[in-house]
Structure formats: C-alpha cells, structure tokens
Amino acid sequence: MGETQPGGPLDLLDAAVATHGARPAIDFFGRRWSYAELGAQVARTARGLQDLGVGPGVRVGLCLPNSPYSVICYYAVLRAGGVVVNFNPLYVERELAQQIGDSGTTIMIALDAAMIMRKLAAIAGMAGLRMIVHCPLAAMLPLGRAWLLRLLRRRDFIARDAVRAGDCAVIPFRALLTRDAPPDPVAIDPLHDVAVLQYTGGTTGVPKGAMLTHAALHAGCAQTIQGLVGLEPGRERALIVMPLFHVFGMTVLMNTAVGIGAEMILLPRFEVRQMLRVIARRRATVLSAVPTIYTAVLAASETRRYDLSSLRFRGSGGAPLPEETQQRVEALFAGPVLEGYGLTETAGLVSMNTADGHIRRGSVGRALAATVIEIRDLADPTRLLPPGERGEVCVRGPQVMAGYWQRPGESAAAFVDGALRTGDAGYLDADGYLFLVDRIKDIVICAGYNVYPRVLEEALGRHPAVAEAAVIGRPDAYRGEAPVAFVTLREGHTTTPAALLDHLRDEVSKIELPREIEIRQSLPKTPIGKISKAALREGH
C-alpha cells in the first residue's frame, strides 16, 4: 500500500477534519454534524475521559446501538489513549458480565435504553465496572423527534438518577464535555498498541477478544478503499445500518467512511421500509450489508416504489451471498453487488470483488493489497495446496490481529507458519479468486463423505418459492451425521418439504440430500442479520 509509517484510525479522522471539515460527517434522523464538529466533539470527549483516568491500556466499553455516540466515543477513547471494547447491547447479563470480566473493562459507555441500563446496573458490581457513562438518545435527535421520543416512548428509556448500580458510579455523558482544554497527547505505537478488543461471536465456545492494533485497523480501511475504485472523497453518502459494534460496521463502514470523508447516515437498527425511505430521501451512494438485508429488500412489496438509483456502490459480506439472490439484487439496482470476505480476526476484509469490474460469480474476490491467501490441507495444515484444491483458508496481511487477549495457547493455535487459520474451507482458482465452500465446523460428514451445507443452501435458493435456507448437521444412527434443512418462503409462494426434496434430487447427489426439510416463518438471526446456525443447532 506504499506506507512507510503505519497509521491508525485517529489519522483517518484527523485527515478528514483537515480536508473535509465543512462537509457533513454524520446524519442521524436529520440532525447533522460536520467533520469539524465531529473532530471537536471527539477532542472534548477524550479530554473528559482522560479526566476519568482513561489512558494507555485502559479498556473502555461501548454498549451502543448505531448513533452519533458510537462514532464520537470510538474515536474519543482512542484519542485518550484507551482501548475500545465493543459490546453487543442485545447480550444477556451473563454474556455482558463474562466479557466485562475477561477484558478488564472498568468504564462502560452505554445508551440510556432501559433494556441496556438495567442489565448493566444488575451486573456492575460483580463484573468489575467502576463507572457507567449514561448517554441519552434524545440529546442526539432533532428537537421534534426528541420531543416525540420523550412523549411516546418514555418507558423504553431510563433517566440517569434512576439507575441503581451499587458502588458503580453513573455519570451523564455531558459530564465529559465540561472542559474546553484539549486532551493530553498520547504516544501511540501503531504496530504494537492495541486499539480495539473485538470479541468473536462465541460460536465455538467462550468468546475471545481479538487484539486489533491501530495499524491493523488503518490497513483494513486503506485496503477497502483501494478495492472500491471510483469512490469520490468528500462526496459519498454511506448508509450504515450494520451495527458499529461489529467488525463489519466498525471497519468496513465507519472507518472507511471517515477515511474518504463520506457522510455517515446512521440507522440504529434494520427495518426495510425505513432503510428504503432513507436511501431515496438522502440519496445514499454506498450501501454494504449482509445477504439477509438484501433478501428482505427483494421480498418487500413496496421496494419498487422507491427511487434507489443513487446507490453507486453495493457491497455484501458477513455471510455467503446466494448467486440467485445476487442476480436479483443486481437486476433491481441495475449494477453489481461487490461480495467480500473477512472476519473478526482480520479487522475487516481479506478479499473482495473490486469495483473496477474484476468480479467472478460465486467468488468473494481476490486478496486485498498486501494480503496473501493460502489454502492448506485440512489434515496436515503445514502443507500448501495448489489452485483448485479445497482446504483451510489461511491469511497473511497487515490487517491480521495480534492474537487473542490473555489467551496465549489459543493465539498460537490460531496461526500456522505465521498465517492466520480462518476455520473456513475453500479454494483458489488459477487467477487467485477465492471461493468459500463452508465453515470447517459446519461441514456435515455423512458416512465418511463431506457434505457442504452451502451447496445445499444454494440449491434450495434456486427453487422459486424459497427466500432463505440454512442447513446444519444432526446425529444420524446410520450415517453418523445427516443434513437437515430449514427454509423460509417468498411472499405469495407456497411449497412443501416433499416438493423441495424433489427439487434437490436434480441439484445434488443422493448422499447430500437432507434427512428432513422444515419450512418456517422466519430463521433465527445474529445481531448483524446473519442466519444463526448455532441457534438452529440448539433447537431454536
């Protein structure tokens, strides 16, 4: 990427303030902040955090749905010298307490939503929190919306003086802004200093904190920008509905938007009608989302009513994008959907189909700048495989994590010959395009034969009645394991499990046929909208 001195997220913000200061940085339900205003707010918040004792190595939690607080506090914690620890606001008390304790988070910045504050208050003492910063949503809204929120949804929020958290202090966000003095400068070693502890989803056990350095986050942003050929700095409007507490939203969306001085149109949650309305009204130019969001857009009866022609860049990630869905989305938007691949441990993307026309159907693109993708033998990971052969996807690059927080054994196991083991199975074609087959842990072994759920899901998706499909393995007395499929149907369509099974007979081999197919109204989702196979395995 031509960098001699690695930077960090703060360099992205400083450059945006200097170059695009007068341009809008955030739009939140019509209330807007310029980059100059964002920079000033970050500096004042950082000063307040330093006055609370935040400095190098101090872990500060962010338990925030998408809002201006998410952006301001992320950069403010880094400006103060601290380490950001992102928390999913939907976590239950046990999950919050586990992550607080594991990370050593002492200060939590959280929205004033009652469902968040009550959980934090209940666990603050035993989890080790010494302070909660109470962030009122109404303070970030336009006056009319703030008034309606207080009038109609008062019970959904809780005042600071009503939060009972024992010995844990609860202070208002405005208390961080009382001093005009600039924050004390902090010396940062981008290559070695951890900026963010980003916890994995915990699908393979207790969640682990991936240590993402300042340099790794900066590299992830620069690589994404390089792949999005044609972006116009200072002119793009990025609709952000993916949660900023997730690595996808944090790096691919927020950091990248700041890196090009784009306006961030923030939505706190996904609701298809609202998203379509905002795209049309605000003339958004960039949208990156998970496949389930695109599926919902296709299914919505009113989609065609909205003018979505302003979208020039459409990205997909977080889960495989079924080819049939991709074709329908591209027909709707009259342009390509750029599919990419990344994971928590890589601070964002590893590969992507780029905006200069280098797109290969069914692929997640080629390795980003300064990134090397290797395919290693599943049985002997020290052995590299040639193009076309399936194995474990392994990655080298400046965006790769430094390891897992306080887990030296698991950190060592996550690498082979210095390359990160992703846990994904796939192959490279002769031109270096990466094709993902499945998660290694998701592969169903039927009588010694590898069945890849993604193959079945793609085949089910080609049935005209199927909206979404998910396949998992379940114990089978005869075959050891057998695939089981779950599907939802498109609006106005009907079918039966028997008809779907007949459809699959022409699509896959006999050994791959699912033992059963269940038609549901909906499938369980993760906070970023991916189908949760963990929940399906647990019987949800």
DSSP state of 176: G
Where does the pLDDT of residue 205 fall: very low under 50, low under 70, confident under 90, or very high at 90 and above?
A: low
pLDDT of residue 151: 84
Average pLDDT score over residue span 436-465: 85
Q: Does residue 485 lie in a domain region?
A: yes
Answer left, alpha or beta for residue 123, where phi above 0 means left and psi between -120 and 50 means alpha: alpha
Cα separation, 135 vs 73, in Å, equals 11
Q: What are phi and psi of 26, to 5 degrees?
A: -135, 135
pTM: 0.88
Average pLDDT score over residue span 185-212: 86
What's the half-sphere exposure (Cβ side, CA atoms, 13 Å) at 411? 13
Least confident of 122-136, 215-229, 275-289, 499-513: 499-513
Number of domains the chain is built from? 2
Where does the pLDDT of residue 408 fall: very low under 50, low under 70, confident under 90, or very high at 90 and above?
A: very high
Cα separation, 377 vs 391, in Å, equals 5
CA distances from 163 to 52, 134, 169, 323, 391 (A): 20, 9, 10, 49, 51
Domain boundary, last residue among 177, 192, 214? 214
Q: What is the DSSP string of 284-333?
A: --EEEE-HHHHHHHHH-TTGGGS--TT--EEEE-SS---HHHHHHHHHHH
Q: Decide if pLDDT at 72 tops 70.
A: yes
pLDDT of residue 207: 84
CATH code where residue 197 lies: 3.40.50.980
Pairing of strands 466-476, 449-451: unpaired
Cβ(416)–Cβ(381) under 8 Å?
yes
pLDDT of residue 416: 97
pLDDT of residue 203: 37
Number of C-beta neighbours around residue 358 at 10 A = 15
Helix (H, G, I), strand (E, B) or coil at 67: coil
Average pLDDT score over residue span 133-152: 93
Element housing 413 (H / E): helix 408-413
Domain boundary, last residue among 166, 191, 214? 214
Q: Does residue 427 lie in a domain region?
A: no
Q: Does residue 531 lie in a domain region?
A: yes
pLDDT of residue 448: 67
Q: Decide if pLDDT at 477 tops 80.
A: no
pLDDT of residue 2: 42
Where does the pLDDT of residue 201 fall: very low under 50, low under 70, confident under 90, or very high at 90 and above?
A: low
Cα separation, 222 vs 371, in Å, equals 12
Cβ(425)–Cβ(391) under 8 Å?
yes
Q: Decide if pLDDT at 1 tops 80.
A: no
Q: Does residue 381 lie in a domain region?
A: no
CATH code where residue 533 lies: 3.30.300.30
Residue pLDDT, tens place only, 370-403: 999 999 999 899 999 999 999 999 999 999 999 9
Where does the pLDDT of residue 480 fall: very low under 50, low under 70, confident under 90, or very high at 90 and above?
A: confident
- Token pair of 174, please? 């405005």
Q: Does residue 155 lie in a domain region?
A: yes
Give residues with Cβ within 8 angstroms of 122, minimum separation 6: 93
pLDDT of residue 539: 87
Most confident of 259-263, 299-303, 346-350: 259-263
Domain boundary, last residue among 163, 191, 214? 214
CA distances from 410 to 165, 195, 448 (A): 34, 20, 29
Task: Give the residue among 175, 91, 89 at the shortest CA–CA distance from 131.
Answer: 175
Q: Decide if pLDDT at 540 tops 80.
A: yes
Average pLDDT score over residue span 219-224: 96
Please give the mean pLDDT across all residues of the chain: 93
Q: Decide if pLDDT at 338 tops 80.
A: yes
Q: Does residue 438 lie in a domain region?
A: no
Where does the pLDDT of residue 529 fall: very low under 50, low under 70, confident under 90, or very high at 90 and above?
A: confident
Q: Does residue 182 lie in a domain region?
A: yes
Where does the pLDDT of residue 445 fall: very low under 50, low under 70, confident under 90, or very high at 90 and above?
A: confident
Domain range holding 203?
A: 9-214
CA distances from 469 to 33, 318, 505, 532 (A): 41, 16, 16, 11
Least confident of 123-137, 144-158, 448-462: 448-462
Percent of the chain with pLDDT over 70: 98
Residue pLDDT, tens place only, 279-318: 999 999 999 998 889 988 998 989 999 999 999 999 998 8
Where does the pLDDT of residue 202 fall: very low under 50, low under 70, confident under 90, or very high at 90 and above?
A: very low
pLDDT of residue 476: 83
Q: Does residue 481 lie in a domain region?
A: yes
Where does the pLDDT of residue 447 fall: very low under 50, low under 70, confident under 90, or very high at 90 and above?
A: low
CA distances from 69 to 26, 73, 110, 343, 463 (A): 11, 6, 9, 25, 43
Q: Decide if pLDDT at 343 tops 60.
A: yes
Q: What are phi and psi of 9, to 5 degrees?
A: -55, -35
